[in-house]
Structure 1
Amino acid sequence: MGIRAAYVHIPFCEHICYYCDFNKVFLKNQPVDEYLDALEREIELTLKQYPTDHLETIFIGGGTPTALNEPQMQRLMEIIQKHLLPLTGDDLEYTVESNPDGVSEEKLDIMKAGGVNRVSFGVQSFDDGLLERIGRTHREAKVAQTLDAAAKRFDNISVDLMFGLPNQTLDQVRYDVSRALQLPITHISSYSLILEPHTVFAIQERKGKLPLPTQDLEAEMYQVMIDTIEAGGYAQYEISNFAQTGKESRHNRVYWENDEYYGFGAGSHSYINQTRRANIAPIPHYIKAEGLPVRKETPLTNVERMEEEMFLGLRMKDGVSLERFQTKYGVAFEDVFGDVMKRLLPNGLVEQTETHIRLTPAGVPLANEVFAEFIGEAQVQ
């Protein structure tokens, strides 16, 4: 199977959220136009060296893609239209990440005209006080206004919500979910706070100044999210993702199915020819790079690929397809991970059907522990 997906990174933000560790910089005084030139150059070189015959998804993320002004957004759309859209078909999923307070109606029109058919909004919460505490600049009223404008142009809209935030309460989580379900959306991603190194929150935590919920309360928040979102008509199809029927994120599924994808832009990652690649992250160095701006290449062995197949694929509610595993790696799942399953099955954290290996409801909250069981355990002759 050829490369199915393309991720395009726009590393500019108008503000920096306290929890974010993605490759990003303040927008002011940045060489945005030069960056877009370098981005186009990377796309051209990559497609020449690693061609594909059909892209199923394009995802523009960041940073904050909608931090670009209107002419810059138009230029970005033209780059995609010239180099990537010719590789797609009628089944394309084309997403742009957006901030509720950073996208004008003109930008939405530019995106729509450029072929975008899905928009993802980083809402995180509807509590104005909590939004301020995590470094977000939008407020609840702006979310409704922006999503109303987006819904006039797009029929596939996702929102991100967060839980496990400093001083967050269970009632706030309930309100966030119930409020999201009132909006014209088709998809919800719900993520717990992860303290990444070098973020504002990580620094505060080291100083003992970050009042986080207990593990038990965070687990309760997660369960409340699951129950409330599913009661609202959305199916949980992955550990952190819920969708109306037919509106699952096809781009993210490429990652979870451990298939190959392009990653364009400063600091982006790609998976091509069984090799994971990381791009140069500093923007000036990315712009000046001669040839492909790759900083690191990590070829994967067949064993490493099979292990990744498990800890990525088990994130999905359907789990890992036994038939697909054998087709992809030329060996039966039982011959590789049979001993692991003998240990896991009695614990009730995973189950094996005729077609799949998947987490049980009891296994979902302990997913990371299950994933770890597959690392270094492949039995290959």
Structure 2
Amino acid sequence: MTRGAYIHIPFCDHICFYCDFNKVFIKNQPVDDYLLALDREMAHYASMGPAKTIYIGGGTPTALDEEQFERMLDSADRHFMHSGIEEFTVEANPESMTDEKLCLMKKYGVTRLSIGVQSFDDGLLKAIGRAHGAEDAKEAVRRAEDSGFDNVTLDLMFALPGQTETSLQESLEAAAALGTPHVSIYSLQIEPKTIFFNRMKSGKLRLPGEDIEADMYGRIIFELEKHGLHQYEISNFAKSGYEGIHNSLYWHNEEYYGIGAGAHGYVDGRRYANAGPIKKYIGLVAERGYSETLSHEVTSREKMEEEMFLGLRLLKGVSKKRFQEKTGRPIKSIYGEQIERLKAQGLLKESGDRVALTKKGVFLGNNAFEAFLLS
């Protein structure tokens, strides 16, 4: 079986107010020891079989200095790179994506950049704790393209504190003007252990209401599709041929290696989580070559549930044939009642081999997904 490989860099040169990913401020951290452990853990998983995609995320991979950044890329190259790699993505922040790092990424075969822009509104960027400005983001995209990267995705956010529909419209227009072939845009989710969560609890966080958020989402779909970026997943838009391959593994419920502190993986029907604290991660890898601390065998029931609520995130929906091949059961024998009920509510549609969300269902996805949880 060919899987994807996700590699986690938990270091940041600043901490954004909304982020709940496993990350630490990079200053005074044992970065070199971490990269040594990361290399060893890559070797462990590479021995299980090749990867068809590589995705280096964080944290902020570009927070590493040039020497550390090359060490990381060299490890990924030695353990996972081969002629059949379909996609090699690295996440980058505008303020730390130097020309030297761009050259290194070209040298090591990176094919796709995911640039964390979030907004083109300087006031909003400051309000959410970002370290770059709108012009920095635009310049980062231009430099990436000048370095030979034609597959660049912009990561944006909406429903931010104090964000207006006008501000969102201006950000969408700025994104469209840059002409990147892919945009990912997610609504703000307030998670525990974040600065925003603490502000919300104290009543100091002003967020758009649900109605405004829905209006914003509708505007996003309209504006991006107007500029040739078709919606292929609830939060992702691309020109034809530039759909994200690695992330599609998740939505197709396929397996992937999770490598690095706090990373999650899915291998041989088992989901696992790695140690999050940096020193614990380094110690476990030194001891046994990997850092897994939690593991769960996915039951047949869970697999069927995941096939539906992950697959329905894709606008093309779930293949009935693929569902039966993967679960051993016809989709209608498990979910016939739910499918008919959601069709009657206008949230789901059937066409040939596919079951997919309707336009209304895309806006009310959670309502549809919950229907496929088996009691």
| TM exceeding 0.5 | yes
1:239 is aligned to 2:234: yes
CA distance in 2, matches of 1:340, 1:73: 48
1:155 is aligned to 2:124: no
1:145 is aligned to 2:139: yes
Offset of 1:135 from its aligned partner? 0.1
Q: Is the 8 A contact 1:3 1:262 kept in 2?
A: no
CA distance in 2, matches of 1:70, 1:230: 37
**What amino acid maps onto 1:32 in structure 2?**
V
**What amino acid maps onto 1:182 in structure 2?**
A
Q: Is the 8 A contact 2:94 2:136 kept in 1?
A: yes
Structure 1 residue matching 2:208: 3-state secondary structure = coil
1:34 is aligned to 2:33: yes
Offset of 1:184 from its aligned partner? 4.0
Cα shift readout 1:65-98 (whole Å, capped 9, x = no counterpart):
0001000011111101111003x51x52100000
1:341-360 counterparts in 2 under 5 A?
A: 341-360=339-358
Q: Is the 8 A contact 1:55 1:92 kept in 2?
A: no
Q: 1:115 matched to which residue of 2?
A: 109
1:1-381 counterparts in 2 under 5 A?
A: 2-48=1-47, 51-52=48-49, 54-86=50-82, 88-89=83-84, 92-152=86-146, 153-289=148-284, 290-291=287-288, 292-376=290-374
**TM (normalized to structure 2)?**
0.97
- How many pairs are equivalent? 371
Which structure 2 residue ranges, 5 or more long, are not aligned? none
**What amino acid maps onto 1:374 in structure 2?**
F
Q: Is the 8 A contact 1:7 1:59 kept in 2?
A: yes
Structure 1 residue matching 2:55: 3-state secondary structure = strand
Cα shift readout 1:147-202 (whole Å, capped 9, x = no counterpart):
11100220100001111000100000000000001114110001000000010001
Q: Is the 8 A contact 1:3 1:272 kept in 2?
A: no
Cα shift readout 1:250-299 (whole Å, capped 9, x = no counterpart):
01100000000001000000000111000000000000112221110011
Q: Is the 8 A contact 2:46 2:80 kept in 1?
A: no
**What amino acid maps onto 2:172 in structure 1?**
V
CA distance in 2, matches of 1:346, 1:303: 25
Structure 2 residue matching 1:138: 3-state secondary structure = coil
Q: Please tell me the root mean square deviation across aligned C-alpha atoms, in Å.
A: 1.0
CA distance in 2, matches of 1:71, 1:240: 34
CA distance in 1, matches of 2:221, 2:346: 20
Q: Is the 8 A contact 1:148 1:184 kept in 2?
A: no
Q: Is the 8 A contact 1:151 1:184 kept in 2?
A: no
Which structure 1 residue ranges, 5 or more long, are not aligned? none
Structure 2 residue matching 1:362: 3-state secondary structure = helix
**What amino acid maps onto 1:29 in structure 2?**
N
Structure 1 residue matching 2:2: 3-state secondary structure = coil
Q: Is the 8 A contact 1:166 1:213 kept in 2?
A: yes
Q: Is the 8 A contact 1:3 1:259 kept in 2?
A: no
Offset of 1:342 from its aligned partner? 2.6
Structure 2 residue matching 1:6: 3-state secondary structure = strand
Offset of 1:47 from its aligned partner? 2.8
Offset of 1:143 from its aligned partner? 1.1
**What amino acid maps onto 1:62 in structure 2?**
G
CA distance in 1, matches of 2:178, 2:307: 35
Structure 1 residue matching 2:56: 3-state secondary structure = strand
Q: Is the 8 A contact 1:263 1:269 kept in 2?
A: yes
Structure 2 residue matching 1:271: 3-state secondary structure = strand
